[in-house]
Structure 1
Amino acid sequence: GPLSANPATGNAYFHDFPLITNRDVVRAFDLLRQHLRLDNIHTVLGGSLGGQQALEWAIIQPDVFENLVAVACNAFHSPWGIAFNEAQRLAIEADSTWKENDARAGSEGLKAARAMAMISYRTYEGFRLTQSEKSNDHLDDYRAASYQRYQGEKLAKRFNAFTYWTLTKMMDSHHVGRGRPSTEWALQQIRAKTLVVAVDSDNLFVPAEQDVLARHIPGAVLETISSDFGHDGFLVEFNQLKNVVRKFLQQQPKELAL
């Protein structure tokens, strides 16, 4: 990543780290798979960015995976998603320390970026359920405001703005149709038995995007999780996700079932 050593200089890359794509990452995963001599993999499962990568991997290596579970993801990142990511990068750029070659550069901007991201991950109803005030007497220090600050500060303690920036650019560039005849053609190369999972309240990776996957991946099954918590629903509603994945795998031949 951006904080790793650049072989040309011996110092961290920082702002010089190159643009990477999900396809680049998946090729690295596949080199590891080959090194480990894993000729066949029972199931590849990914959600959000991980789901984008799982799709790419199943396209690049269609004969490796028996099953693919693609959760709350898409065939290409939408203008809506790219706009959210750009707003977060603008927040990082606005941090006066961002141009410094220091691991903590942009950390205040990262806090703001994370707060923006939380809005895209959640919903009006989710915030109403969890962040409403207990009384009508507040004039400041609202629960929702404190929650946003907490999420930003928590991430900044364990992460860095350089890597966050890189991940948003990686997500923006996701497009299974890039360099191929079409998006539909790319999805049709998938041979794994496929479960696509949507979250009914997802405002970031909207259910229509999972419908596209299910329509164009041969034989794919589409399941929808019900949640008040938007994109984060696939994390919050763990039991629902567990149940749809179990049902899918149990419908496969006996030797492949859980």
Structure 2
Amino acid sequence: LGLGRIRLAIGGSMGGQQALEWAVEEPDRFDQLCVLATNAFHSPWGIAFNEAQRMALESGGREQGLETARAIAMLSYRNYGIFGRSQSEGNAGKIDGYRASSYQRYQGEKLRRRFDPDSYRVLSKAMDSHHLGRGRGSAEAALASIRARTLVVGIRSDILFPVEEQEFLARHIP
């Protein structure tokens, strides 16, 4: 892109993985870095979530598979409390057509209209293969090379990128 100095790089989730990679690859280019809900390497838990989504892509037709993959992913973006607040039913006699069910289907349909299943698969594989330590000795060594003033933000309710992963980043980035 022909960019010289970058004052601030901000990224969350996969964007945080990318921002960390750039800050390690070119430590003198960045003044500040802000990463949210991300990690130095993808965990077995995160890989398992992504594999479940890829299995959904493979099991149904392209469109249905993508909708199901999104429904699986939504369970990592949302949590018990959020679903309880936004999708609760007021009718104790209801036995079908739940808000949570229609919400999951709606989110899947919405993604299907704007996203390609093959791109979804490739992006999930890229997240799985993310490891700052690859070719650099260790993740700790890679993080120690970051020179940017860095803010690491964790989200207590995040089950895909638990706070322990941000604590690891904060401990090893100077």
TM-score, normalised to structure 1, is 0.67
Q: Which residue of 2 aligns with 1:48?
A: 13
- Which of residues 78, 87, 94 is equivalent to 2:43? 78
Runs of 5+ in structure 1 lacking a partner?
1-31, 98-105, 219-258
Is it true that 1:59 corresponds to 2:24 in the alignment? yes
CA–CA separation in structure 2 for the residues paired with 1:39 and 1:124: 44
State how 1:1-258 maps to structure 2 within 5 Å: 32=1, 36=2, 38-95=3-60, 97=61, 106-218=62-174
Q: CA deviation digits over 1:79-98, x for unaligned, max 9? A: 00000000000011012x4x
Structure 2: which 5+ residue stretches go unaligned?
Answer: none
Q: Deviations over 1:121-145 (max 9, x none)?
A: 1111111011000211211000000
Aligned AA (2:82): G
Q: Which amino acid aligns with 1:200?
A: R
Higher relative contact order (CA 8 A, sep 6+): 2
Q: Which amino acid aligns with 1:71?
A: L
Q: Separation in 1 of the partners of 2:102 and 2:4?
A: 49
Larger radius of gyration: 1
Runs of 4+ in 1 over 2 A off after TM superposition: none
Query: How many percent identity over aligned positions?
Result: 60
Q: TM-score, normalised by structure 2?
A: 0.98
* CA distances 1:63-113 after superposition (whole Å, capped 9, x unpaired): 000000011100000000000000000011012x4xxxxxxxx11100000
